[in-house]
Structures are given as structure tokens and as C-alpha cells.
Homo-oligomer: A and B are copies of this chain.
Amino acid sequence: MSDDPICNDCAVRHASLCGALDDSALVALNRIGQRRRLRRGETLAWSGDTNKSCANLLSGVLKLTTATADGRELSVGIQYPADFVGQPFANTQDYTITAVSDAELCVFPRRPFEGVLEEHAPLERQLLVRTLGMLDDSRRQMLMLGRRSAREKVAGFLLDCTARAGASASRATADGPITIDLPMSRGEVAELLGLTIETVSRQLTKMRAAGIIAIPSVRTITIRDSAALTEMAGAA
């Protein structure tokens, strides 16, 4: 958004927060937005930092993590392209934001962003709606963390990935096996599901042994029996 006055080259122009904006809001945002690339593993902000920026995620995947005082970590959010990243109105950053894959963002300095928010009601509305959505996601995740078994967690995670992969997932026939690329490592899956890396690995191995999935490569999973997987995930 930093180069083009009307953000025409923005891949997520219509899917992002900017989607419903009129030109004046877009121009205002464009004025303060700046593109930034992150390499896989690089972190955008550390928990505890002073909160200096918000962003739209253009491509790649980010994770938000928190940790207990003694260092146990959990991912409290995964962000995909077009998602809004950051905490407006907060003075300190509560989460560590890390790139799970190479990523590209449109970064807004926080204060100016808040200013634009103030002056453009549709932007504020969009952000409210998105925030409510994130709250729902987070609460769904709470149910998963608090009440589901490891097998349900892993099965559910694979189904979520499948849903998200959507068109980009390859499948031979309409009801045939689906192959997806996991956007993250085993360790990151564990961190997201509130498990250990070993438990995630064991669950995947069990599912493979049961013929429900295949694991052509470590980051690639073929779902051979999605009905069984759905069953395993405990529906919901």
C-alpha cells in the first residue's frame, strides 16, 4: 500500500480490513502504511515491547504466542493473509508475533492508525466486526484446549487446515483423498494445540496406521478418510 496511491497492487485489497473502505479512508491508510517482509522464524514484535504498530497480513502465516513465567509457550492465534494483526489502543504488546512462513505485511504505526480509525467510521466498524470474529475464534480454541483429547485436537487441526486450504488443496475426485501442506512444524502444531511435540507426532502416526491419513512428506498430509477424521474430531 505504500507505493500505489490506491493500493491496486495489494493482494488482499478486498479481503482485508480495507475491503469496504471509500477512497478517502484508503488514501489515509495508504499514507501511513508501509510494506514489510518477514522471513520464516523472524519476529515482528515481542511480548512486553511497547506496542508501536498494527498491520494487515498480505501473505504468509503468523503466530501469536504467550508464555508462562517459567517459559511454557502457547499459540493464542494464527493469522492468515488478509487478517488484521496487532492490538490497537494497547500500550504494550501482549503477544510475541512471529512469522511461521515467509510473510509480507502492510504495517501501520499504531498512533496514526488509531487516528485514521477515529476519522473513518467504516474502518472502525470493520475492525470491530473482525475483532468480534477473533473473539469467537479464541473461544472456540478455548473449548478445544480445555475439553478435547489429543486425538480430537490433532484430528480437528487437520480438518481446519483442510478447510482453510480450500481450493489450493489437491484432490483427485470430489470425494477422493485430499492432500494438504501444513503451514507449520510439529512443534508449532503442538504449541497451538496445547500438547507436546511427541504427542502430536504419535497421534499422526496412529492415524496413519489406521489408514485415515498418509504422510507423503513431513509437511504434507493426505486425508484418505475424512469421515473417520471428522468422527475423531468429535464433530462440533
Q: Which A179-236 residues have a C-beta within 8 angstroms of B?
A: 193-194, 234-236
**CA–CA, A66 and B137, complex, Å:** 12
The stretch that binds B, out of A22-30, A88-96, A101-109, is A88-96
Q: How far is the CB of A174 from chain B (nearest CB, A)?
A: 26
Residues of B within 8 A of A138 (CB): 135, 138-139, 142
CA distance A184 to B88 in the complex (A): 33
Q: What is the oligomeric copy number? A: 2
Which among A37-45, A121-129, A158-166 touches the partner chain? A121-129
Q: Which residue in chain B gives the minimum CB-CB distance to A121?
A: B121
Measured in the bound complex, the distance between the Cα atoms of B141 and A139 in whole Å is: 9
In the bound complex, residues from chain B placing their C-beta under 8 Å from that of A64 are 139
Q: A132 on the interface (CB 8 Å rule)?
A: yes
- Cα A74 to Cα B146 in complex, Å, equals 7
Q: Which residues of B contact A88 (CB under 8 A)?
A: 128, 132
Do B66 and A143 have beta carbons less than 8 Å apart? yes
Contact yes or no, A235 B142, CB < 8 A = no
A70: nearest residue on chain B (CB-CB)? B234
- Distance in Å: Cβ of A150 to nearest Cβ of chain B: 12
A194:B145 contact, CB within 8 angstroms? yes
CB of A3 within 8 A of chain B?
Answer: no
A118 / chain B contacts, CB cutoff of 8 Å: 125
- The answer to whether the Cβ of A81 comes within 8 Å of any Cβ in the partner chain is no
Question: When the two chains form their complex, are residues B139 and A128 in contact, meaning their CB atoms are under 8 A apart?
Answer: no
Known: A66-B140, A68-B143, A94-B139. 4 other contacts (CB 8 A): A87-B132, A94-B136, A95-B139, A142-B142
Q: What are 6 pairs between A and B in contact, CB < 8 Å?
A: A66-B140, A66-B142, A74-B146, A131-B135, A142-B145, A147-B194
| Chain A residues engaging chain B, CB cutoff 8 angstroms | 64, 66-70, 72-74, 76-77, 87-90, 94-95, 118, 121, 124-125, 127-129, 131-132, 134-136, 138-143, 145-148, 193-194, 234-236
